[in-house]
Structures are given as structure tokens and as C-alpha cells.
Chains A and B, each alone.
Chain A
């Protein structure tokens, strides 16, 4: 690799972390890490993590040969490891492609996206630029294989034809009174930004580096924010509620493990741009840290608890159509997701994308029938948690706030209010919200077209998105 890695960490230091054995439980070499109750040497530890990653990818049909993956890269250890591993998987796939006779099947492609949030951090400009250069160098340091590197400033999602996004983003963020709300709002924008990059460049999947520790934090913070209903949507390997499906192959790895792997393999990371927070999220993170000291597997237990909750139907790739054009021996298997609904019929929060719980749906239905103003409809289309922590409480500010939000968000609701009168009153969910769980770009494009069709009132019965009556 093309850069000088950090000096190798002190061996005795690492051994200090061991409580069990000083030998690798698999090959007998000196152990540097503990995983699954076994001391492991560097090589076996790496294989152990790579095994978890690969198992997650293959057993959930995350990546098909025809896919084009967009890896969300933050510079942190988790996404760094994800980049390394997926790159490795691709190199192996290319090798076997080279060796095979037919060479008929393509090998999936990888792109890397970095969402530049420097607008929200107060660090000096030149240091930010250096950090971004670092990130670029990490990606370009990988031997050929990464198709493209996209660096998208966060404010881009706010820009309109006439106006620059920077001012609008800052204005919207300043209107949010709650620290935690501001943080969560930025997180939602990050996802939107990734979606935008993926859609604009023809990617079919977005890979996130969310690891078990991050998910454990999310489980608790979502509970604390009253999002217990929508929580299972965020903790699965696969999440197809977005235009471009999102996959989380590192869900079973702990942050400490990933950091250790980065140290051992001298994978360079760049975390300068991480911002500090002082809201509920950081309180939860420090709570989890304390729990970890007492019991290292606590994070796994928390994630497992959340996994016992019933996932949503969009937490898997739908089987039909997914494998078209693939020979049967190459079709990855589908994991069994326990969900009764066969079609995706959830109403999603305008801002954070959480599925609505019963009471939120009732509220929305009530508003639909009586609300005349667009703004009421906007508010009703946000989950209770966003309503509390993100949306400004005063009504005047409220309207302005929604006018600032990215059009990708508000458009969906505007479409509904425009076409509300055309639809049957007992229509449960407007199909624009039902993003079909499909993996191909053509389908997603079709979805966008459909949305336009609905606006103009040319609703076709043979639309490919199922309507529920």
C-alpha cells in the first residue's frame, strides 16, 4: 500500500487486553486479540472478522454480480475495514472471473462516497482540507478496483436551482432547538446525501459500516427517544425502504475489534472530522461504554435483543425479480425474515424514514381528513420523535422550516396532498411511499416516473408498485 502506516502498536500493550490465553486458540501463535472466548493471533483474528463480514454478505444475498456498490466511507475504523473487506471480496471475484471459461458474468463494482460535513464543524479550513485529502489518499491507495470516489458536501442536498445550499442548511439547522435533534437531523441528511449520490451515479446498493457497537447505541437511543416501534427497521442487515437499498454487513463486529484490526493491519483511518456531541446520543454512548467495561459482550446482547423484535417487510430483498439473469448456481440464498406482510406498506416519516406506529398513523389519517393547510400534513408526516426534537414548535417557524427542507423529502407529501382528492378515501397508504423492494436501478427509475404519473393524475392500474386497499 502506498502510505507509511502508523508504527505498530506495542505488543505488550495488546497482550494486556488478554484475559484468557496468550496463545492463539486456532493456530497456537502468540495471541493479540480475544474474540468469541478464544485468544487469536493477528492472522486468525483477521480471518475471524472477514468470516463474519463474508457470512453477512453471502447469507443475506447482499451483493449480486450485477450490482454496483456504493460504500459510505467516513474515515473511521468501521468503514475502513468495510472498504478493505469488500475490496478484497471483489479482487477474489475478479480472479475467479479471469480464470473462468465463460466470463459471461460481470463482477460487482465498488464506488466510495464521502459526505463532507465540514460545514457543520468549526475546525480550521486548511486542516479540513488536509483531512479530506487523507481520505482521498486512503481510497486511491487501494489497488485498482474502486470505480469512483464521490465527495459530496452535505449542503448539496439543500441547494435549489436558484439558491446555494449552504445558507439554507445553516438556517434550517439553526431552527432546531434540541441538540440531539440537530444531530439526528444531520444524520438523516447524510443518508439523503448518500441516496442522492447513489441515484445520480447508478449505484444499486449502499453499504454502511455500522458495527454492533454503533447499533447497540442506536437501540438504546431509539428507545429513549420513544422510537421503539420503528427500531427493528434500523438493526437488520438489509434495509430496502430507501430508493437505493442499504446493507449493513458489519452488524456483528464490535467497534473495538475493528479498531484493533486497523491497528494490526496498519489500515489508515481519518477521524479528524468527527464532531463531538452533547445530546442524548453521546450520553447513551458513554453509558454503553460503561456497560462494556463491566461485560464486554453487552453490546452483542443489546443488538440481539433488538433482533428479536419483528423486522419490517422491507428488511429483506424480495425474492421475485431479484435474481433475474443469474444462473441458478450463482443465486445467493435468502435469509428468512420473519414478517407477515408480503408487500411493503408502511408509511414512513418524512425526515427520518421511520415506519409509523399505530398512533402515528391514526394521527396522520385524522389530519388528512381535516387538514387544509399543507403544513399540517407535513407535520403529520413526521414521526412523533422528529416532531418533538427536530421540527420547531412555533407554527410560523414551522412553515418556513419545511420550505427549507430538501425537496426530495417534501415532494412526497406534496404529491399526496395534490392527489388526495383523486384517490379513494379508504386508501391506506399512498403508493409513492411504498418503495418496492427491488434491487435493480431500472425499477428505481420506474418508481420516480410513477411518482410523476401520480402527480398528473394518470394513475395506471398496472403500476408495478402494489397498492393496498
Chain B
């Protein structure tokens, strides 16, 4: 159990395997913080007295937020400042000594990671949500009446995404039908925990939840796969299967769009990794906010311009995949965090670079076809999932891994960096603390 958080609270981490230390609970977490509320306080109150509302964001009703969030933020808002102590131009924040630069009324409670502005908690909520709303509107992500599946892993990004999206849907009348869609890879101690979170979200936000499992789709759980092939290359299986599982789940739900919780840090990292790998085709599309528009179900990333740090302090939550110590990505992620410390806007600049790269229109892009066996989109005769599955079932698990000509595309254990890991299994844990 993670003792520091009320298990009933909205974003409380779910049961931790007893062997692992509770992740990401900085010493400042008030172990005795008494979140005063149960589920009913989902409709709790945020201080409404002087919330500066932007013109396009008229006060509809008393904005609701779980009091827990505020409590958590009041503690966690120290996080970016603490971590920025060894940063360059970031003097230790003297919360309370300054007024919010946005509303000028309340005391600044945190330094906004994206801009380093000192703002109050209320304004942070407003700018955070408004930016996402703006991204959705500017990019025409949704049409009224769309059925939208939220790829929900139970991690911080998708949990915040589910909350923010249902909130914005209500507030700005997107008239979307939202669903939660989860994939159960069958990783004991990791996915079964996070699925608990998703199930909680289902009840809390009143969003219907669909879980598709590897076991049902492919007959293998990740635990089985790891038993068969060991810890090397297992991320390839997981990534390929998950991508397809998500599409299949979405098809079952008959949705028009899938949204995923990829944030600005993820996208910046993907841009860098594609440069490091020389993958020009992926480099050109990894910054698209909507991908797969020619496929059956497009996916989009409403958090494209949202910093991971802000998602972390919005509520506070993270969990670590036990099978994914991906060193290569770790490198790049660390680099991005260093960059952010030097210059917060570097993340946005990387995304901007990615969008502006002069990629010749004649660059050959892989052609899209369908898999002969299962009918899923594929650039080869058989889709990657079928090749991998074939290997597993025939007892040749190395089939389809590595650079083999003639077998379905994609290579190496780093997987593809296109829309990396639809649900992210990153080791945020160690980086954010």
C-alpha cells in the first residue's frame, strides 16, 4: 500500500506490490494528510470567489475539483522548484512573497514549469485547461457528436487527460461521447494495479470503460511472453501488440477517434530519437497532432503542447512498468529534462523544429496495405503483430525482431518511435523526483 495517500482519493496510487518501495513519494508528502472526503467530494469546490476567467471561458457553474487535488498540489507544487534548485536561473521560489503574475490578486503558489511565471494555484488550473482547450479548438481535433476513446493506462497522463477532457467536454459543450479504453497486457503487479485506477476513473467520471486483453486477442499475456523470450526485446512485443489492441478495442467501441496522453516531453523526445536513428519518415509525422487519418481510426494527442511537469503537478501520480528499463529512451529523456532546466521553452522549440523540418515531399514513405492474416493495417504482407505472434506460437520468439529483410518492418528492441508506446511505460518515477 502507498500509505501516504487516501486510497479513496481521486488520484491515489493503487496497490503497490509489497516488494517495491512506494514510488515517487517525496519526503514532503504529508503522510498524515487527511483528505477529508470520499467519492462524493468529486463534486467538491474550488475557491470560486475571485477566479479570473478568460473571456472565452465563461463561468458556467462552480468549477469542481476534488479537494484532494488542491491539497496535493499545494504540496507538490513545490516539486518543480525543488528540482530546479540546481538549475540555472531559478532562484528558490519564495512562495507567498509575490503576487500571481496573471491575476495579480492572489499570492503566487508555484512557478509555472512551462514559462517560469509565478502564478497562483487557481490561475494554474485555468491556464492549464485553457491551453488544452485551445489546442483542441485550433486543431479541430473533434467534431460535435464524435465518439472518442481515451487510451487509459492508469498512468498520470491518461488519468489527467480523462479528467480534463470530460471537464472541457462539459464546460465547452464539445458534445463528445467519451469512453475509457484500456489494454490489459497481463503484467502482474503493474497492469493489474493500474487497471484498478482505470476502473476507479470509470466510476468517478462516469465514463464507460472497455478493457481489451492480450490474452483474449493473442492468447498470450506479457508474463507468458517474458517467460518465453526473457527480458530482452519484450518491449517490441508489447508495443506492437498494444498498438493493435488499442485499435481493435476502439473498433469494438465504434469510436471515431482515439486520444492518447502523449505530452510535449514525449513528442520532443521522439523527435530527438528519430534524428538519432535517421528515420526521416517518422521524423516527418511524429509531430502531427493527429495521426492515422488514412487508417480506420485516427488518433490524436491533446497534450501535444502540455509539459509533463505540469501534468505531474496538476494532480500527482505516476507508476513504473516493471519490464521497461529502456536505457536508450532513458538517455534522451534525461537530456530533455536537463534541457528543460536550462531553458524551459526548449521542449516547445524541439516540437517546433520537428514541425518545420524541410522534409522533401518526394521522400519515400512506406505504403500502407492490410495484413493478409488479420486485416489490420500493415506496410508488409503480414502485420508485425502476426509475425511476432507466429514466432511465439511456433516457439521461435526471435522471429520478426531485429533487422531481417522480408519480414515486417520495424526493428530493434527500441521499438518504433512513431507514436511511441500508446500507453507509456516509462520510468517517470526516477526522473520526476
Contacts and interface: CB of A to CB of B under 8 A. Distances in A.
Given A283-B339, A305-B283, A309-B358, A227 B275 contact: no
Contacts of B279: 305
B272 A357 contact: no
Nearest to B352: A226
A308 B353 contact: no
Nearest to B331: A290
A224 interface: yes
A121 B121 CA distance: 44
Given A224-B339, A283-B342, A301 B278 contact: yes
Contacts of B32: none
B342 A220 contact: no
Contacts of B272: 220, 223
A132 interface: no
B356 interface: yes
Contacts of B349: 223-226, 385
Most buried by B among A304, A306, A308: A308
B432 to A, nearest CB: 19
B359 interface: yes
A224 B342 CA distance: 11
B343 interface: yes
Contact of A309 (B276, B350, B355, B357): B357
Contacts of A294: 328, 331
B339 A301 contact: no
Contacts of A309: 280, 357-360
Interface string A284-304: 000100110010001001101
Contacts of B339: 224, 280, 283
A219 B346 CA distance: 14
- How many chain A residues sit at the interface, stated as a range, is 35 or more
A310 B358 contact: yes
Nearest to B334: A287
Nearest to B342: A280
B353 A226 contact: yes
A179 B338 CA distance: 15
Interface string B355-391: 1111110110000000000000000000000000000
A254 to B, nearest CB: 16
A76 interface: no
A220 B338 CA distance: 14
Contacts of A227: 353
A222 interface: yes
A223 B343 contact: no
Contact of A357 (B328, B348, B356, B359): B356
B215 interface: no
Interface stretch (A149-157, A228-236, A319-327, A437-445): A228-236
Interface in A213-254: 219-220, 222-229, 231-232
Contacts of A283: 335, 338-339, 342
Contacts of B276: 291, 298, 301-302, 305
A298 B346 CA distance: 22
A228 B356 contact: yes
Contacts of B84: none
B342 A310 contact: no
A371 to B, nearest CB: 24
A304 B275 CA distance: 9
A222 B349 CA distance: 9
Given A223-B350, A308-B359, A309-B359, A287 B278 contact: no
A338 interface: yes
A310 B360 contact: yes
Contact of A287 (B88, B335, B352, B363): B335
A98 B217 CA distance: 79
Interface string A160-197: 00000000000000000011100000000000000000
Interface string B87-100: 01000000000000
B313 to A, nearest CB: 24
A457 interface: no
Nearest to A355: B358
A180 B278 CA distance: 26
Nearest to A290: B331
A279 interface: yes
B13 interface: no
B397 interface: no
A171 to B, nearest CB: 22
B357 A228 contact: yes
Interface hub of B277, B356, B359 (most chain A Cβ within 10 A) = B356
Contact of A220 (B275, B278, B352): B275
Nearest to A360: B356
A388 interface: yes
Nearest to A357: B356
- Top 5 closest pairs, chain A to chain B, by CB: A228-B353, A226-B349, A229-B356, A310-B358, A223-B353
Interface of B: 88, 271-272, 274-280, 283, 328, 331, 335, 338-339, 342-343, 345-346, 348-350, 352-360, 362-363
20 contacts: A178-B343, A180-B343, A220-B272, A223-B271, A223-B275, A224-B349, A224-B350, A229-B356, A229-B358, A280-B342, A280-B343, A287-B331, A287-B335, A301-B276, A302-B275, A302-B276, A305-B275, A305-B276, A309-B360, A310-B360
Given A278-B88, A280-B339, A309-B280, 8 more contacts: A220-B272, A223-B350, A225-B346, A291-B276, A302-B275, A309-B360, A310-B359, A338-B362
Interface of A: 178-180, 219-220, 222-229, 231-232, 278-280, 283, 287, 290-291, 294, 298, 301-302, 304-306, 308-310, 338, 357, 385, 388
